[in-house]
Chain A
Amino acid sequence: MTVRVRVIPCLDVADGRVVKGVNFVDLIDAGDPVEQAKAYDAAGADELCFLDISASHEGRGTLIDVVRRTAEVCFMPLTVGGGVRSADDARALLLAGADKVAVNSAAVSRPEVVAEIAERFGSQCVVASVDARRVCGPGVDNPGDDRGERRWEIFTHGGRKETGIDAIEHARRLADLGAGELLVTSMDGDGTKRGYDLELTRTIADAVGIPVIASGGVGNLGHLVAGVTEGRASAVLAASIFHFGQHTIAEAHEALRMAGLPARS
């Protein structure tokens, strides 16, 4: 076989507690991140992702403690993102036990931070986020119209603020700067349960040589499969379908295998 498609549950964390945003607005408290991480480790998740959405400095300090406690009991790769602005921020998370750091808005305002982290700690630990919305093409002005140019733009602040940056160009740039993989999130899809933006995922996966993680909008196991078969992602990230017990990691692996894709058994 070959390298397996990675199934990555993602926990949104604020002030040391797990929350899950629906369209990044309504938050439901769903527990202790360390306990959830242990459950996903035991369930055979291929990796785990913590995204810190704390607004405050105190919340960030709490995150470091959560990462440290998670690394003591979980023997799986852990990616931590949210508020990483410098190589020193990355270092604090890596020392606490994170294996990779996800760089979000800093990669938009100052993309060189990706190179700075990659040079100090290696490309393998840098996950660069590409948070995009469709600004042109099907589904924007004329939902039924399948013709015309497709374009996506980078949005920040949970999808509320446009930047004018072309998402595909931005993805290429982050790869050139030394990112080890790209976390591609459709801000249109996030929280909707309608599935990934497969066209966005595929366009970026074909444009770069590094792995792409599909993210944003998973509502069922078929969406995970499509992220790989149609989106050409190397990994699939999801939140609520796992957190609320709709599906297990084993079911996700099985769905991938049934589609002829390599997944852990």
Chain B
Amino acid sequence: MPGHVALIDYGAGNLQSVANALKAAGAPLVKVTDKPDVVLAAERVVLPGVGAFGACARALRGISGMVEAMEQRVLDEGAPFLGICVGMQLLASRGVEHGVHKGLDWIGGEVIAIEVTDPAIKVPHMGWNDVAAMKHRDGAGLIERGEAYFLHSYHFVPDEGRDIAAITDHGGAITAAVARDNILGVQFHPEKSQRYGIELLERWLDWKP
């Protein structure tokens, strides 16, 4: 019998939407949880997130033992991981939204404001945009070329280009997905990207990195 997907509840946003989408994609059991034990026992781990980087990082660290449980289950034991939006940005070393805040530092780099020079380009980057997959990278096959729903004002700039699994364009190249080993992070919202998003979650649920 397959194990459960732990969907980490740290008070950040649209948990129910993500849980609904994972179920629609065929996840047999989704446990919305703020318990480190449930993460340690999970087959797969999802970190969602909306809002500000600093507030999310603080809330996640505010749950005693949660970051340690995530590191053990994902980094040491290799459970497939998915970070969504701010949950993806938290993989970075640091974020510079309203001050400098430490991230998980699973994928080196920083999260900075989207800077636009053309006043016709609006921030937040809000709406459907291209996901252009980098085929040779980690996570290849999970990310397909298509259109997904983005909603963010900050973006993840990894130190190493090889960690970028997909890009989009909003007044310049923006990281749309990062991947390394068993870790996938997407800037866009698969749970809000209709069929494209559900199909991505289906592939992630089958992913055996």
Contacts and interface: CB of A to CB of B under 8 A. Distances in A.
Q: Is B a genuine binding partner of A?
A: yes
A75 B21 contact: yes
Interface in B154-202: 169-170, 189, 191-194, 197-198
Interface stretch (A80-88, A119-127, A150-158): A119-127
A234 B126 contact: yes
A28 interface: no
Given A75-B191, A77-B151, A97-B16, A264 B128 contact: yes
A190 B98 CA distance: 39
A33 interface: no
Interface string A106-136: 0000000000000011111100000000000
A175 to B, nearest CB: 11
A76 B152 contact: no
A95 interface: yes
Interface string A184-221: 00000000000000000000001001110000000000
Interface in A1-18: 1-6
A72 B124 CA distance: 26
Interface string B110-152: 0000000001111111111110000000000000000101111
A46 B149 CA distance: 8
A99 B169 CA distance: 23
A44 interface: yes
A218 B192 CA distance: 26
A41 B128 CA distance: 14
B186 to A, nearest CB: 14
Interface string A30-56: 000000000001001011000000000
Interface residues of A, number: 39
B33 interface: no
B64 interface: no
A197 B120 CA distance: 19
Given A76-B192, A124-B153, A210 B14 contact: no
A75 B124 contact: no
Chain A interface mostly: loop
A71 interface: yes
Contact of B194 (A5, A41, A232): A41
Contact of A180 (B21, B126, B130): B126
B124 A124 contact: yes
18 contacts: A1-B129, A2-B121, A3-B150, A4-B127, A6-B126, A75-B191, A77-B149, A77-B151, A94-B14, A97-B20, A99-B192, A120-B51, A121-B13, A123-B153, A209-B123, A264-B128, A264-B147, A265-B147
Given A97-B16, A121-B50, 4 more contacts: A6-B127, A99-B151, A122-B50, A232-B120
Interface of A: 1-6, 41, 44, 46-47, 68, 71-73, 75-77, 94-97, 99, 120-125, 180-181, 206, 209-211, 232, 234-235, 264-265
Interface of B: 13-14, 16-17, 20-21, 24, 50-52, 119-130, 147, 149-153, 169-170, 189, 191-194, 197-198
